[in-house]
Amino acid sequence: MKKVGIIGVGEYLPKKILTNADLEKMVDTSDEWITTRTGIKERRIASSHEAASDLAINAAKEALKDARLKPQGLDLIIIATITPDMQFPSTACLVQANLGAKNAVCFDISAACAGFVYAIIVAQQFIARGTYKNALVVGTEVLSSITDWDDRSTCVLFGDGAGAAVLSEVKSGGILSTYLGSDGSMANLLMMPAGGSRNPATHKTIDKRLHYIKMEGNEIFKSAVKIMVDTAQIVLKQAGLKCSDVDLVIPHQANVRIIMAMAKRLGLPSDRVFLNIEKYGNMSSASTATALCEAVKVGRIKKGDIILLDAFGAGLVWGACLIKW
Ligand code: UT7
C-alpha cells in the first residue's frame, strides 16, 4: 500500500456576508442568542448565479495551484455535497468539464457534514492501492438554496462555501489512520424531505415547505459530542498516538459549544482546535474543507504536525482522519 497525503489545499467563499444583525431584521432572533448558542457571527451567501460547482471550481483551482498540478494530471475527482447543482449529472462531472480534467473519473458523495472526510478516505483507498495517482476532493455547499429563511431555528446556522484538497502519494507522513461510521436510525433528525423520489416536487410539497432543511438540533447535539470524541479516540488508537500528540484538530463547525465540549473531553487545550464557524457558520461538507485550508494558509499547520479531521452530520454519519502533514 502506498502512503497518501494532501499535497495542496484551496477554498472559495462567496463575497456576500449575512450578519447576525441582518438576520435580526428577517426573523425573531438576536445576535446575543446566535452568538452564545452557536458561536456564529456571520456567514457567506452565494449570489444567484453561483451554484455548488462554481464554488467548487474556484476552490479546486486554488488547490491545484498549491499542489503544482495541472487539471490533466487528475485521475479522480470526488465532490462531497448535499446541494449539488442538480440531481444529475454529478457535480463532479460539471467541475471536471470546467477544469478540463479530461483524464479524471468523477462522482459525488452524499455524506452531509462528514462529506469531505468521507471523500478524503475514499480517495485514499484508490491512491493507496495504486488505482489512481492524483485525486481532487472538494466539499462544496450552497446551503442558502435549501434554507428556510422563515425558520429561525435553522436559518441562523448555515452558510455557503467550498474547500478543496489534492491527494497524492507521499514519501513520508500522510494519512496515518481513518475511521467512518453511520447510523441510519437517526436519519429523521436532519433531512430535506422533498425533491427526491419519496416526495417529488409538487405544488403541495412546495406549499408545505418540504424543500428546506428540517433539523431537530437538540437531539443531534446530544449525540454529536460523544460521536466526535469516540471517533477521535478510535483513529488515535489505530495510529498508536495520544491526544497530546495532536497539534491541531479540524472539527466540523456546527456549533462552538459542541466543539469545545469535545475538546474538553479529549483533554485538548482550545488553542489546538481550529475554528472558522464565527465567520462562516455551518457549511456542511465545506466546513472541515475550508478550515483545513485556512489553517494551512495562516501557518497553523506545519510540516510534521499531527492533524485530526473529525466530522459528523445528517444520516447520521461521522468520520475522522489522522494526518501527519
Ligand atoms: O451540522 C451537523 C448537524 N447539526 C448540528 O450539529 C446542530 C446541533 N444542534 C445545535 O447546534 C443546537 O441544538 C442549536 C444551535 C440548533 C439550537 O441550540 P439549543 O441550545 O439546542 O436550542 P433549542 O433548540 O433547545 O432552543 C432553545 C430556545 C427555544 O425556545 P424555548 O422553547 O426554550 O422558549 C427556541 O425556540 O431557543 C429558541 N430559539 C431561538 N431563539 C432565538 C431557537 N432558535 C432561535 C433563534 N433565535 N434563532
Q: What is the pLDDT of residue 325?
A: 97
Task: Give the angle 151-152-157 at the CA atoms, nearest 5°.
Answer: 105
Examine the residue annotation and report whether 203 is marked as an active-site residue of this protein. no
Longest dimension (CA), the chain: 56
The predicted model gives 42-46 an average pLDDT of 98
Strand locations in the chain (E): 4-12, 16-19, 42-45, 76-80, 105-109, 135-142, 160-169, 174-182, 190-191, 214-215, 248-251, 306-313, 317-324
Distance (Å, whole) CA 187 – CA 132: 33
Q: Which of 113, 155, 293, 321 is catalytic?
A: 113
Please work out whether the CB of residue 217 comes within 6 Å of at least one atom of ligand 1: yes
Taking a C-beta distance cutoff of 8 angstroms, is the pair 115, 285 a contact? Answer: yes
Q: How many CB atoms lie within 10 A of CB 313?
A: 26
Query: What pLDDT score does 286 carry?
Result: 98
**Percentages (nearest 5) of helix, strand, coil residues in the chain:** 40, 25, 35
- The active-site residue, picked from 58, 106, 252, 321, is 252
Q: What is the pLDDT of residue 248?
A: 98
Can you tell me the mean pLDDT for 23-28? 97
Catalytic residue, chosen from 20, 58, 255, 282, is 282
Ligand 1 atom closest to the CA of 287, numbered from 1:
1
At 91-131, the pLDDT tens digits run 999 999 999 999 999 999 999 999 999 999 999 999 999 99
Closest residue to atom 4 of ligand 1, CA basis: 254
Å from CA of 201 to ligand 1 middle = 28
What residues pair up with 289 in beta bridges, in sequence order?
Answer: none
pLDDT in tens, 272-324: 999 999 999 999 999 999 999 999 999 999 999 999 999 999 999 999 999 99
Question: Ligand 1: does its nearest atom lie under 6 Å from the Cβ of 257?
Answer: no
pLDDT given for residue 222 in this prediction:
86
Over residues 15-22, the mean pLDDT reads 98
Determine if the pTM surpasses 0.75. Answer: yes
What mean pLDDT do residues 244-259 have?
Answer: 97
Residue 57 has pLDDT above 90, yes or no: yes
Confidence of residue 11 (pLDDT cuts 50, 70, 90): very high
DSSP letter string over 150-217?
T-HHHHTTB-EEEEEEEEEE-SS-EEEEEEEEE-GGGGGGEE--SSSSSS---HHHHHTTTTS-EE-H
Rounded mean pLDDT, 71-100: 98
Average pLDDT in the 38-43 region?
Answer: 98
Residue 87 half-sphere exposure toward CB, CA atoms < 13 A: 6
Average pLDDT over the chain, rounded to an integer: 97
pLDDT single digits (tens) 165-222: 999 999 999 999 999 999 999 999 999 999 999 999 999 999 999 999 999 999 999 8
243: annotated active-site residue? no
Q: Is the pLDDT of residue 83 over 90?
A: yes
Identify whether 98 is a catalytic site residue.
no
Query: What is the Å distance from ligand 1's center to 151 Cα?
Result: 11
- Residue by residue, DSSP assigns 133-159 as S-EEEEEEEEGGGG--TT-HHHHTTB-
Instruction: Give me the half-sphere count of Cα atoms (radius 13 Å) on the Cβ side of residue 321.
Output: 29
176 ligand 1 Cβ < 6 A: no
Residue with the smallest CA separation from ligand 1 atom 7 is 217
- At 48 the pLDDT is 96
- Of 274, 282, 225, 283, nearest to 246 by C-alpha is 274
Ligand 1 pocket residue status of 107, Cβ below 6 Å: no
To test the pocket of ligand 1, the residue of 110, 153, 158, 260 to mutate (highest count of ligand atoms within 8 Å of its CB) is 153
Chain-centroid distance of CA 311 in Å reads: 8
- Give the bridge partners for 136, in sequence order: 77, 166
The residue to mutate among 18, 33, 37, having the most atoms of ligand 1 within 8 angstroms of its beta carbon, is 37
Predicted confidence at residue 293, as pLDDT, reads 98
Residue 115 · residue 139 · CB < 8 Å: yes
